[in-house]
Amino acid sequence: MALLESLLLAALLALGAGFVDAYGYIGLGHVFVANMTGTTVLLGVAAVHGDVSLSAHYVLTVGAFAAGAVIGALLKRFTGRGSLPLLLGGAVLLVLVVAPSSQIEALVLLAAVMGLQGSAVARFRSISLQTIVITGTIVRLAEGLVTTVLGGGRAEPHVHEANIHHALTWSGYLIGAGVGGFALERFGVPLLLPACALLAAALLLALIEAREPEPQKK
């Protein structure tokens, strides 16, 4: 995987995830569909306050995310291709674009798509990186910047390259969330945008996998 391909892939995935997470939070009852840390916190708070309805929403979201991750992992295990879970996720987003869905159905499907994405690709060249959450990404970026400035320490094999990936993923997620919030108010079919990003990422990864001697494995 060439450096520019890796950066483009990470950017597309981060943009899509940020968009979908903003869409879920703003448009589907303040539920995170990619950030399961946030959703787990919301579940705990709702459970303590005895809010059965909200608790059910959060449980369904976490369960759908886990199911999507399992399906994605199985697809990748049996085919050796991370592009297939991405392709499936993009197809599900297109279904949500063209077919009416309830809030619950949208939550479940969007969370499943994020689970598929998370299991599809977690390494970009030599760098371990998730594109559906950014907490760890910010920590790794901070560590990498300290190593770059002070030297030494335990770091990725190519710390400068890792810093670029982490910074790009963080900013991509932020931009995607901003575009998602804007598109909800101005664009009639907002989920078409992350669907295109995810399908473009699937195509790019498929081209990379077809060229590489060994399929990319988790």
Domains and CATH numbers, the chain: 3-211 (1.20.1250)
pLDDT at 218: 43
Please report where in the chains the tokens 């909200």 appear, as a residue: 54
Containing 124, the helix (H) or strand (E) segment is strand 123-124
Question: CA-CA distance, 141 to 146, in Å (whole number)?
Answer: 9
Between the CA of residue 165 and those of 13, 41, 160, 183, what are the distances in Å? 12, 28, 9, 26
Interval 97-142: pLDDT, tens: 998 788 899 999 999 999 999 999 999 988 999 999 899 899 989 9
Q: Write out residues in the chain with pLDDT < 50, as ranges.
A: 215-218
Backbone φ and ψ of 99, nearest 5° = -115, 130
